Amino acid sequence: MATSACSLELLGLLIYIGAWLCALATTILPQWLTMSTSLLPVESFDQGLWETCVVQDGGDTECRSYDTLLGLSNHLKLARIFMCTSLAVGVLGILVATPGLSLINSCGRYGGSQTKRALTITGGVLGMVSGVLCLIPICYTAHLAVTHFFDETVPDAVPRWEFGDALFCGWAAGFLLIVAGLVMVTSCTCLQVEPQPVLQRRYQMKSTDGSFRKTVEYV
């Protein structure tokens, strides 16, 4: 059981770190939404949290950061806040969960297994919270893209934004963060159960010389 718990802890931490890196890439990448038009087939446009890019057919890319924070749309501001909060909570969860691993000799004689178990559970819960915070702006951005894409009031000739690669990376990051948190919390239930104390039954026996002696029987 202890070996199983150690394996789950390591698996959860590795998934945790990989998912956090995916969330970081999602936050940085400008390919949240992409748009191409038949009017300019040699160019396509990408929109991210921090900049917009024009991609030429030959592979050249020119990006430009947003000029002002106040001019951004509300959903873009909220997406920035949620993604940055998700990254911060994810880092905190990794830092909290790492000392709680069974293979790391931490906490000393003042903590013991209970403190390490609490650290692992706390790190796992923070991982799940980070995953939810990551999925909220991803799903909302995808919802807006789908709503605008199928808007019947917009003429068919008008180009529309579609899903970019960063959204798929964000979905993977959010779900993996939740999975990593669940694995780490589950690993705490696989800890080795301490053996129960042996019950003793005491009784007296009378010897042939008339004296009494105590006898202990283990059950």
Confidence of residue 71 (pLDDT cuts 50, 70, 90): confident
- Predicted confidence (pLDDT) at residue 16 exceeds the cutoff of 80: yes
pLDDT, tens digit, 9 for 90 and up, residues 156-172: 767 788 899 999 999 99
Check residues 49 and 109 and name the one with the higher pLDDT.
Answer: 49
DSSP category for residue 12: H
pTM: 0.78
Q: In terms of DSSP H, where are the helices of 29-164?
A: 74-97, 108-149
Q: What is the pLDDT of residue 79?
A: 94
pLDDT at position 205: 53
Tokens of 218: 């283990």
List domains and CATH numbers for the chain: 2-38+68-193 (1.20.140.150)
3-state helix, strand, coil in the chain (%, to 5): 55, 15, 30
Residue 56, SS3? strand
Predicted local distance difference test score (pLDDT) of residue 216: 45
Place of tokens 């921090």: 50
What's the start-to-end Cα distance of the chain, in Å?
Answer: 25
pLDDT tens track for 23-49: 999 999 999 999 877 666 678 889 999
Tens of pLDDT, residues 78-98: 999 999 999 999 999 999 998
pLDDT at 38: 64
* Residue 198 confidence (pLDDT) above 80: no
Residue type for 175, please? Answer: F
Two structure tokens written together for 178? 């939740």
Which tokens in the block code for residue 40?
A: 């300019």
